[in-house]
């Protein structure tokens, strides 16, 4: 899936992405990088609202699994089960989130379990950045449920 295709999907299917003005900066097998400007995500301190930072990290992580599921031709409903977000510093401008799997083996086990049992869990990590400096870390566990027609 190309960056522009993912961006269109996110904007069409997840209205928050359009409101936050999320842009897909990169898509590859190892991760997805999303970015967003400060203006629609600003808080009363003139920094990024924590919910927007967390949302971008969740979206980048969800997108990585979504892209890999499509590439593997695995139809599934994908939802977040739980997450933690560590805010390391205020973000006073445009920001990004880059997602990654804990390991390539984790993806392989997830895909095999989804094929075998129709349900699988996977942990994804994401790093928030502003101006090339890490501003936060995200860990999320996602659950995929095989689509009914598979």
Quote the domain boundaries for residue 89.
3-146
Query: Of the candidates 6, 18, 34, 32, which has an alpha carbon nearest to the alpha carbon of residue 94?
Result: 34
pLDDT for residue 40: 97
Q: Which CATH number goes with the domain that contains 109?
A: 3.10.129.10
pLDDT for residue 3: 92
**Number of domain units in the chain:** 1
* Average pLDDT of span 18-34: 95
Q: Angle, nearest 10°, between helix axes 3-13 and 50-71?
A: 120
Tell me what percent of the residues of the chain surpass a pLDDT of 90: 92
Q: Are 126 and 61 in contact (CB under 8 A)?
A: yes
d(CA 132, CA 144): 32
Average pLDDT of the chain, as a whole number: 95
pLDDT for residue 149: 55
Nearest 5°: phi and psi at 11? -65, -35
Q: Residue 150 above 50 pLDDT? A: no
Nearest 5°: phi and psi at 2? -80, 160
What is the per-residue pLDDT across 97-124, written as a single tens digit (0 to 9) for each? 999 998 889 999 999 999 999 999 999 9
Give the contacts of 8 (CB within 8 A, at least 6 positions apart).
none
Give the contacts of 141 (CB within 8 A, at least 6 positions apart).
80, 81, 82, 83, 121, 122, 123
Q: How many helices (H) and strands (E) does the chain have?
A: 4, 6
Residue 147 confidence class, pLDDT cut points 50, 70, 90:
confident
């Amino acid at each position: 899936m190309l960056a522009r295709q993912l961006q269109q999907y996110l904007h069409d299917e997840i209205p928050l992405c359009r409101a936050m003005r999320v842009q897909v900066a990169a898509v590859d097998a190892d991760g997805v990088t999303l970015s967003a400007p400060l203006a629609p995500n600003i808080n009363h301190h003139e920094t990024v609202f924590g919910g927007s930072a967390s949302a971008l990290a969740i979206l980048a992580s969800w997108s990585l699994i979504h892209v890999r599921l499509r590439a593997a031709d695995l139809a599934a409903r994908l939802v977040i089960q739980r997450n933690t977000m560590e805010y390391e510093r205020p973000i006073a401008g445009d920001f990004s989130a880059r997602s990654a799997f804990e390991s390539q083996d984790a993806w392989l086990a997830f895909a095999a379990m989804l094929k075998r049992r129709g349900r699988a869990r996977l942990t994804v990590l994401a790093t928030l950045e502003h101006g090339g400096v890490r501003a936060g870390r995200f860990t999320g566990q996602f659950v995929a449920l095989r689509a009914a027609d598979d």
